[in-house]
Amino acid sequence: MSLNLITGPAAEPVSLVEAKLHCRVDTTDDDTLFAIAIKGAREAAEHLTGRAFVTQTWELVLDRFPSRGWRAGRSIELAKPKVIGITSVKYLDVAGVEQTLDNDLYVLDADTMPGWLSPAVDTEWPDTQATTNTVRVRFTAGYGAAADVPAAIKQWMLLQIGAAYRNREAFLAGITIADLPNRFVNGLLDRERTFV
């Protein structure tokens, strides 16, 4: 099983203007550094929370569909909340030919964390070729637009961006950059953490 990013976010949750305002910078000299810090802060926050923030497209690759049973037995966990929708479900049939599953043959449960894909009522997943990577579920995930990302996440990102901007080296008087944010700062992400 693997989870691969297909299309990244079209915008960052924190804009260049917001980051520079937070750091009290009004020149364009360090715009490239800010862009790197913004992306790095978002990627770190997404990693720590297990979420996608601004709408992204992901692909889950499985060796086969789950076997019969309820939820854990026959549903597919989409471990990148919040799942917005399913783009496609493709699989290699027993002859090795790629097929696209008709969207009325599966149901998305986007209300339950992290998001689950199940066969529709009175249906089962199709048989697949007995090899690796036979099932590909492509889906979109995130809060939506950058404006929809929770304020606590944006605040955490701004604090990380500020620390990275002010302390551009890995070591500062024997303290690593990773040690700079305190428990309060990291606690800003607690509400959004997923444990999947």
Render 15-80 in DSSP notation, one character per residue: -HHHHHHHTT--SSTTHHHHHHHHHHHHHHHHHHHT---B-EEEEEEESS---SSSTTTT-EE--S
Q: How many residues can be counted in the chain?
A: 196
Q: How far apart are CA 98 and CA 120, in angstroms?
A: 21
Query: Is 11-53+146-192 in CATH node 1.10.150.120?
Result: no
pLDDT of 33: 94
pLDDT of 67: 79
Supply 112's token pair.
Answer: 């339950």
3-state secondary structure of 185: helix
Structural contact between residues 67 and 122, judged by C-beta atoms closer than 8 angstroms: no
Q: Provide the whole-model pTM.
A: 0.82
pLDDT of 148: 97
Q: How far apart are CA 129 and CA 136, in angstroms?
A: 13
- Residue 122 has φ and ψ, to the nearest 5°, of 65, 25
pLDDT of 167: 78
* Per-domain residue ranges of the chain: 11-53+146-192, 57-141
Distances (CA, A) of 134 to 30, 62, 66, 128: 46, 6, 12, 7
Supply 43's token pair.
Answer: 């990627």
Dihedral angle, C-alpha 50, 56, 62, 64, nearest 10 °: 120
Q: pLDDT tens, position by position, for the chain (196 residues)?
A: 899 999 999 999 999 999 999 999 999 999 999 999 999 999 999 998 999 999 999 999 999 999 755 445 589 999 999 999 999 999 999 999 999 999 999 999 999 989 999 999 999 999 999 999 999 999 999 999 999 999 999 999 999 999 888 877 655 555 554 555 555 566 667 766 776 5
pLDDT of 172: 54
pLDDT of 166: 86
Task: Report how far apart the first and last C-alpha atoms of the chain are (Å, whole number).
Answer: 14
Q: Name the nearest CA neighbour of 25 among 35, 12, 13, 40.
A: 35
